[in-house]
Structure 1
């Protein structure tokens, strides 16, 4: 792993420590779209800029397309206030790492966010808590906001679910640069792609535990929920989380607009 720490940049939406965190909505496209379809979708998302501007309560929005579409995101989202980033990052800043992309390179593209530790990366690519911590360290050193994914694999009672989730969260936060901005995405694995989100009471219990972990670390953190999230989800979780992490629901920009307006109105 590289010891080189690139110059950090200030966050666009630094939160006042004494103020309530600003709501935030993220969208990961995974590998559902090709390049042309991603470009078309980004163009549609850009048209939501006026919606964001007139919301009664400001909401941050960011999107995570595949690596080849970052240039399109930079072009099409310029001036909209909509952030963008990547779905993965490598822990090293340079070296013989064939096929990998560094945090510094992402920052050069104008990316602001990067997803780390998603359950699919853990399952299919063998990522561990140590890997996620290293990627979080690299991301925050480069001034990126890591979107740290964490959640229990199987449906369990809140005590067991919190224990499994907190192990992941604490390991990742241990890698974060002091004072850095992070987002924790609570995504119970069993709820990803399910018919319904995890029960609101369950999410609230785990969210409270994650808040405690955030307070124990020198970071400025926000907490969002993902796992079959959509319109109506935030209404049941308001006060427990700071926003949502969306998947296929946001493939239709109209669904994304509905979520933004719902969150702003709470």
Structure 2
């Protein structure tokens, strides 16, 4: 059975000091025996994606967390080293204590011009290390209104996974469906719509890379996820977790999502 992953993407928020404060509150709740025991018994995995400047603070704090908690980076360069001012290599991310790395997030695609080809280079570079890529796909509102959702996410998925062996999918790759029109807007795809696209993504992987890879692949939903809608989303058969944005910036709202996710797994 696939593990559920709740991932918190902090984007360009949270200084090192704010990160320290977040974890003081967060870890105090995790130390409560009923919650800690429920997490330990579950198949829930949790990952947080702070800014690069806060990774070491977060890594130190998570040393006291229950099993199943890890860190991720928000982006990476595909080269191992070189004259790439401002960039971070996979080895640097790996050494900072990360297990995951986002690739292909819509803000990287639309604000910084990252292409499907660049996303694929990042996926392959991460898989050359111990890091696990979280490949983000999703359509804009205009694409959705033109009926292009499935065409867009299929292209992003297959381009992003090009040259990735099928046996790496379930163990080492996560896919996140984030409709661009739902990110930070307060709008959320309905449970049915999110399930439909996540099921489609799984079926595309099955058609192209085989049933075994499709069945073991974890597919997350992202886009204005909060405690009020998380349990319904997590209960869907092809949704294996959430990529959470704003609601992951406060320990109480993120903990509420974790509690709802645990109830969906019960």
Range into which the TM-score falls when normalised by the shorter chain? 0.7 to 0.9
Please report how far the alpha carbon of residue 76 of structure 1 lies from its aligned counterpart in structure 2 after TM superposition.
0.8
Cα RMSD between the aligned structures? 2.0
2-structure distance, mates of 1:259, 1:99: 34
Q: Structure 1's 175 and 106: CA in aligned 2 closer, same or farther, altered over 3 A?
A: farther
Is the counterpart of residue 141 in structure 1 residue 136 in structure 2?
no
Using the alignment, how far apart are the partners of 1:162 and 1:112 within structure 2?
29
TM-score computed with the length of structure 2 as normaliser? 0.86
1:102 — aligned with what? 89
* Structure 1 spans left out of the alignment, 5+ residues: 1-19
Q: Tell whether the 8 Å contact from 2:15 to 2:54 is kept in structure 1 after alignment.
A: no
For residues 192 and 73 of structure 2, the distance between their equivalents in structure 1, rounded to whole angstroms, comes to: 31
Shift in Å at residue 160 of structure 1? 2.4
Distance 1:43 1:189 in 2: 32
Q: CA offset at residue 204 of structure 1?
A: 1.4
Matching residue within 239, 242, 245 for 1:241? 239
Larger helix fraction of residues: 2
| Separation of aligned partners in 1, 2:19 and 2:247 | 15
Superposition deviation, residue 52 in structure 1: 4.4
For structure 2, which runs of at least 5 residues remain unmatched after alignment?
A: none
Q: Which residue of 2 aligns with 1:37?
A: 18
Q: Is the 8 A contact 2:15 2:53 kept in 1?
A: no
**Could you say which residue in structure 2 is the equivalent of 1:68?**
53
Kindly provide the CA deviation profile for residues 134-171 of structure 1, in whole angstroms up to 9, marking residues without a partner as x.
00111111121111111001162696211111110111
**Paired position in structure 2 for 1:250:** 248
- Decide whether aligned partners of structure 1 residues 254 and 108 sit closer, same or farther in structure 2, where only a CA change above 3 A counts: same
The equivalent residue for 2:220 is 224
SS state at 2:195 partner: helix
CA deviations on 1:144-201 (whole Å, 9 max, x unpaired) are 1111111001162696211111110111111535533111110000011122311222
2:8–2:47 Cα contact (<8 Å) kept: yes
- Counterpart among 173, 176, 188 of residue 185 in structure 1: 176
Task: Say whether the 8 Å CA contact 1:52–1:59 is kept in structure 2.
Answer: no
User: How many angstroms does 1:48 deviate by?
Assistant: 4.3
Matched, 1:161 2:146: no
Listed one character per residue, the Cα deviations across residues 26-68 of structure 1 (whole Å, up to 9, x for unaligned) are 0011012222112221333333434344246331000000111
Rounded to whole Å, the distance in 2 between the matches of 1:164 and 1:197 is 19
- 8 Å contact kept, 1:57–1:265: no
Compute the TM-score of the two structures, normalised by the length of structure 1: 0.86
